[in-house]
């Protein structure tokens, strides 16, 4: 106030108004900054990550925001794991009731925010499970993985093989040709047949030219 002494009233009032206006502006900026900081604190979420192969063990934790989108989350996980391609990360949510991973993984960009990944009905978890895939998840989602029981011609042992094939335009013959590369045949020219089983009995021998129809959701 000492700076305005000796000025005419009109000028003194104008200076006081400017000083007061500046003080109000500073207060407004500080108040907005505090609101932003409070929102950041409110949305802060520490997430425990577990390998899907070891679902009982916490492997690492990351401090994230509930507002992080799908890409933000997988990029942070990939960065922690020193993985160059975040699209090779597949996440699975936690079932708060069974304390197990949910049966189905999260689809590529299938949820909007981290908060959606952690939600389970009316509860919120702080656990996510991760896998590192051999191929990017968008490509993986165009494939179908199934288990085939292989019965050897001369051995009693039944070996279960996991095979991955395209969802579209996949024939029974494609499945058989792929399986030939994975199994031990009784002789080089041995032929494989795909049998449909119903109530523990062979229902029919499937034609190799037929398209495979997936009767369940991926």
Structural domain includes residue 98: yes
pTM score, whole prediction: 0.62
Q: What is the predicted pLDDT for the residue at 164?
A: 78
CATH number at residue 63: 3.10.20.90
Structural domain includes residue 171: yes
122 and 56 fall within a common domain: yes
- Domain of residue 69: give its range: 43-134
Structural domain includes residue 163: yes
Structural domain includes residue 178: yes
Mean pLDDT of the region 93-114: 96
- Cβ within 8 Å of residue 125, ≥6 positions away: 93, 94, 96, 118, 119
Structural domain includes residue 166: yes
57 and 34 fall within a common domain: no
Please compute Rg for the chain using Cα positions.
31
pLDDT digits (tens, 9 = 90+) for 106-161: 999 999 999 999 999 999 999 999 999 989 999 988 887 777 788 777 788 888 87
Structural domain includes residue 214: no
49 and 34 fall within a common domain: no
pLDDT at 1 over 60: no
Q: pLDDT class for 20, splitting at 50, 70, 90?
A: very low
148 and 95 fall within a common domain: no
Cα end-to-end distance, the chain, whole Å: 74
**Domain end marker among 104, 134, 164:** 134
pLDDT at 62 over 50: yes
What average pLDDT is seen over the chain? 80
User: How many domains does the chain contain in total?
Assistant: 3
Structural domain includes residue 217: no
Q: How far apart are CA 143 and CA 191, in angstroms?
A: 25
Q: Could you tell me which residue, 60 or 165, shows the higher pLDDT?
A: 60
Q: What is the predicted pLDDT for the residue at 118?
A: 97
CB 13, CB 4: distance < 8 Å: no
């Amino acid at each position: 106030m000492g700076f305005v002494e000796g000025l005419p009233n009109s000028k003194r009032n104008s200076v006081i108004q400017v000083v007061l206006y500046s003080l109000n502006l500073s207060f407004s900026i500080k108040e907005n900054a505090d609101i932003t900081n409070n929102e950041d604190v409110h949305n802060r979420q520490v997430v425990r990550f577990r390998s899907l192969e070891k679902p009982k063990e916490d492997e690492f934790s990351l401090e994230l925001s509930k507002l992080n989108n799908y890409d933000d989350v997988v990029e942070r996980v990939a960065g922690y794991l020193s993985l160059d391609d975040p699209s090779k990360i597949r996440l699975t949510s936690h079932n708060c009731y069974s304390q197990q991973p949910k049966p189905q993984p999260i689809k590529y960009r299938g949820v909007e925010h981290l908060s959606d990944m952690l939600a389970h009905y009316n509860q919120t978890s702080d656990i996510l499970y991760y896998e590192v895939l051999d191929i990017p998840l968008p490509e993986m989602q165009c494939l179908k993985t199934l288990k085939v029981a292989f019965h050897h011609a001369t051995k009693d042992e039944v070996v279960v093989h996991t095979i991955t094939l395209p969802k579209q335009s996949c024939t029974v013959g494609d499945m058989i040709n792929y399986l030939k590369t994975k199994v031990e045949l009784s002789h080089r020219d041995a032929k494989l047949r795909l049998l449909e089983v119903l109530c523990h009995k062979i229902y029919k021998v499937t034609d190799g030219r037929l398209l495979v129809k997936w009767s369940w959701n991926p």
